Structure 1
Amino acid sequence: MKGALFKDQILSDRERKNLDILEVIRRYGPVTRTEISRITKYNIVTVSNYVNNYIKKDLVVEKGLDISSGGRKPTLVELNSRNCFVIGIDIGPENIVATLTDLSLNMVTKVKQLRPKDSMEEVISKSIELIYEVIEKAQIEAKKIKGLGIGISGIIDSKAGTVRDTDPKRGKTAASYISIKNLIEREFGIPTFVGNDATVAAFGEKRIGLDAEIENVLYMFSDVGCGIIIKGEIYAGAGGSAGEVQLNAGNKGEDLPKEFGLFRPGSINLGIVDSAIEAMKSGKETKIKELAGGKSENVTADLVIDAARENDPLAIELIEKAGLTLGVRIAYLINLFNPEVVILGGGMEKSGDLILEPVKRMVRRHAFEEPASMVKIIPSRLGENAVSLGAASLVIREIFIHA
């Protein structure tokens, strides 16, 4: 398996059939060969030959008879979920999450820790610790782990296998460019796949959270990143960095006219945290201050959401304002990409209707009628697991292709 995102990957006929047939078995199993043939449009002889080959390799097992059908009862097949395992890592702005899943993308175990605030080297070191921890916690033989996927915030260069940290608070230095793929592969000796967190989360939602028929998806990771799925596959751009819904944060947009505000550098928490801290410092009475223990460093987006749930006027106002800003960006992207679904993730989904309603209001106002009438705007169904499960999905895809 190659350890890169599949934007340039051209599948052979056999690889495409492997992926299509095994994905149907994963999604719908236990399922009959006849049903697989109907869904994939491959003839029954082809499907039977491929399935029999998977059974020989212990990737697929027979699972009794389909008693719902009349006449001769067809045999059901399903994935041998315990055949192998994969690990998905979410290296997010605030936390690192590691999940270990089986072949069917069922989560076996999960660990989570705060992301180190210092260099990317420390972040990678902490990620390696978590990988060892999740393996130990799952009590799985290392040889049964066939690959590792990583979703990380930053600019990805898929050709060089590097990621550049784009957080302006940490600055841009030579150490910002890290070949994370090589470091992880050297440590664990298994194929490693690296993608931008929003892109990887979009793939996870497509594979696990959404109906199979949905082909065109945008996943909004706060208002700075957007994962793009076109015709069922990741769109990563020429170098793997597609989906940055902001301008260069180093500039801060200081030379942009006010009417170009849509394109100014965004904030990973929609500016909610910074605005809440400013309000606290100005002496405004708010539940946020109480929940934060009076300390601005304790203010997080989740804390503001908690305050809003307790009907704090300031918290509700901040989330409403963030939703309006985000809604304008989403309206622009709906006009550009004409998706079937836009998913709010990256923690935004926890706000529920508090953020969904202003987003939808701005979309109705600013998106063109035709694409707006076709799109559904929904909260992430995978929540905080979207990136790690999406990263695991990348690996499972490769296993299926090369079955």
Structure 2
Amino acid sequence: MDTKTEGLFHYRTLSDKERKNLAILELIRKKSPLSRTEISRLTDINIVSISNYIKDYIDKNIVLETGCDVSSGGRRPELVELNTKGVFVIGLDIGPSKIIAILADLTINILAKTESPAPTGAEEPITNKVIGLIQELIKKLNVDVSKIKAIGIGSSGTPIRLMDTRSAVQKNFGVNTFIGSDAACAAFGEKKLNPQADVEDLLYMYSDVGCGIIVRGDIYFGAGGNAGETKISREHVSKEEEVVLFKGTQYLRPWGEDLGITQMAKREIEKGVGTKIVTCAKGNTKNITTDVVVEAAIQDDDVAVDIIRNAGMNLGIRIAYLVNLFNPEVVVIGGGVEKAREIILDPIRKTVKKLAFSEQANIVKIIPGAMGENSVSLGAASLAIREVFLKA
């Protein structure tokens, strides 16, 4: 079902031309330089059609000819590659505490990056900050705005809440601008850039923020672009109803962006428990973050290790349900908690092994994300490139 909401990254039925555009240009992105003959062989599209498509891409400045391949007899075949110096995209991660903006070429290579604390409250300050960061990127590389062909935004919370920001960015720069959930963007970025995640069916767990879903090689957004919420909402639940509705369903309750790690650490310290977390926080509990607890855990602090493992077990329960439901090949752990590596991955894997059905559990691999803090912005840029390729 196609959504009619303009500007949302969303699933739609592709035309024959769009499917071929995506197949050809993605192949060139991954394996260039390539000859037209190689492209024809690898895509199973006849050479005449390939030649016509490539000519069109060259005319639109998306693809460049880059010399000749070694000949096996006769005329040497000309090689083509993406135009990495004449076509660009921008990817943004609008998170709850920070905004990251990157400018990338068509191979998803970051050419410039900037970031800023995220304004709180109303949408207008966020819009102004985003526009300012984009202007900063353009100034850094002295890029002509006409060479920026798409802008992608990954949003924490529901993308709908920042639709005015998307519209303002598109109007300000005259560039097609799209928005989607942070988890969906991160999932797509991992698939495109992490060789271990380049599979047909994948889940990306963005800590407790949400889940990005790849089905049959393509991102799944849902009817309204909000697919992937892994917890139940308390938005319309009274305190009296909580007692009844949430009893026995604690594995579905929201834990927060860091799986409750920060709060658990502060509670332990308030009890007077000795822990390296205090030292890593430089003696001030206000400095305690997920990274601080992870740092203490890596130093073999028992309290920090227990907190991380408990968070991993809780996340593993959620993942086990999703593994049963989607039967993915890979689950990627991201959102920052993956920095704890085996301290959190081990309890996640053990919990999934115990609670998922054997057939699904024996297939799935659970791995840490490879993109770090750039996962959402790179994913948003990757989805922007997809839009450029589809319309080529």
Q: TM-score, normalised by structure 2?
A: 0.92
Alignment check: 8 A CA contact 1:100 1:138 kept: no
Matching of residue 297 in structure 1 with residue 282 in structure 2: no
Secondary structure of 1:148's aligned partner: strand
Matching of residue 358 in structure 1 with residue 347 in structure 2: yes
Distance 2:326 2:279 in 1: 43
Query: Aligned to 1:283, which of 269, 272, 290?
Result: 272
Q: Aligned-residue CA RMSD in angstroms? A: 1.9
**1:114 aligned partner:** 117
**1:40 aligned partner:** 43
Which residue identity lines up with residue 189 of structure 1 in the other structure? G
Secondary structure of 1:130's aligned partner: helix
Query: Aligned to 1:71, which of 73, 83, 103?
Result: 73
Identity %: 49
Secondary structure of 1:82's aligned partner: coil
Offset of 1:65 from its aligned partner? 3.0
Matching of residue 125 in structure 1 with residue 128 in structure 2: yes
Alignment check: 8 A CA contact 2:191 2:198 kept: no
TM-superposition CA deviations, 1:63-120 (whole Å, max 9, x none): 23333x7434433211111121111000112221100001221110111222234433
Alignment CA distance shift 1:92-1:142 (3 Å): same
Distance 2:190 2:129 in 1: 26
Offset of 1:297 from its aligned partner? 2.3
**2:171 aligned partner:** 186
**1:376 aligned partner:** 365
Alignment CA distance shift 1:122-1:56 (3 Å): closer
Offset of 1:189 from its aligned partner? 2.3
Matching of residue 326 in structure 1 with residue 311 in structure 2: no
Matching of residue 82 in structure 1 with residue 85 in structure 2: yes
Alignment CA distance shift 1:212-1:299 (3 Å): closer
Matching of residue 205 in structure 1 with residue 190 in structure 2: yes
**2:338 aligned partner:** 349
Alignment check: 8 A CA contact 1:227 1:243 kept: yes
Secondary structure of 2:85's aligned partner: helix
Give the alignment of 1:214-293 within 5 angstroms.
Answer: 214-250=199-235, 251=237, 253-293=242-282
Which residue identity lines up with residue 9 of structure 2 in the other structure? L
Secondary structure of 1:333's aligned partner: helix
- Which sections of structure 2, spanning at least 5 residues, go unmatched? 1-5
Alignment CA distance shift 1:323-1:13 (3 Å): same
Offset of 1:149 from its aligned partner? 0.7
Distance 1:218 1:104 in 2: 23
TM-superposition CA deviations, 1:376-403 (whole Å, max 9, x none): 1111111111110111112111111111
Alignment CA distance shift 1:213-1:345 (3 Å): closer
**2:389 aligned partner:** 400
Distance 1:10 1:329 in 2: 31
Alignment check: 8 A CA contact 1:344 1:377 kept: yes
Alignment check: 8 A CA contact 2:320 2:355 kept: yes
Alignment check: 8 A CA contact 2:92 2:380 kept: yes
**2:379 aligned partner:** 390
Alignment check: 8 A CA contact 1:334 1:371 kept: yes
Query: Aligned to 1:98, which of 84, 101, 110?
Result: 101
**1:166 aligned partner:** none
Q: TM-score, normalised by structure 1?
A: 0.89
Offset of 1:212 from its aligned partner? 8.7
The number of residues matched between the two structures is: 382
Distance 2:274 2:198 in 1: 49
TM-superposition CA deviations, 1:8-56 (whole Å, max 9, x none): x222211221111111101111122232223222122221221122223
TM-superposition CA deviations, 1:190-239 (whole Å, max 9, x none): 21100000011111112222369611111100023000111122211111
Query: Aligned to 1:19, which of 18, 22, 42?
Result: 22
Which residue identity lines up with residue 245 of structure 1 in the other structure? T
Secondary structure of 1:229's aligned partner: strand
Distance 2:246 2:378 in 1: 40
- Which sections of structure 1, spanning at least 5 residues, go unmatched? 157-161, 164-176
Distance 1:178 1:143 in 2: 23
Deviating beyond 6 angstroms after TM superposition, the runs of 4 or more aligned structure 1 residues are none
Query: Aligned to 1:140, which of 133, 143, 154?
Result: 143
Secondary structure of 2:61's aligned partner: coil
Alignment CA distance shift 1:307-1:121 (3 Å): farther
Distance 1:239 1:45 in 2: 39
Alignment check: 8 A CA contact 1:91 1:153 kept: yes
Alignment CA distance shift 1:315-1:90 (3 Å): same
Alignment check: 8 A CA contact 2:10 2:220 kept: no
**1:3 aligned partner:** 7
Alignment check: 8 A CA contact 1:246 1:266 kept: no
Alignment check: 8 A CA contact 2:152 2:178 kept: yes
Matching of residue 151 in structure 1 with residue 136 in structure 2: no
**2:55 aligned partner:** 52
Offset of 1:266 from its aligned partner? 3.0
The 10-residue stretch of structure 1 (93-102 or 73-82) with the greater mean CA deviation from structure 2: 73-82
Offset of 1:345 from its aligned partner? 0.7
Distance 2:281 2:197 in 1: 42
Distance 1:302 1:203 in 2: 25
Alignment CA distance shift 1:319-1:212 (3 Å): closer
Which residue identity lines up with residue 45 of structure 1 in the other structure? V
Distance 1:47 1:392 in 2: 26
Alignment CA distance shift 1:218-1:273 (3 Å): same
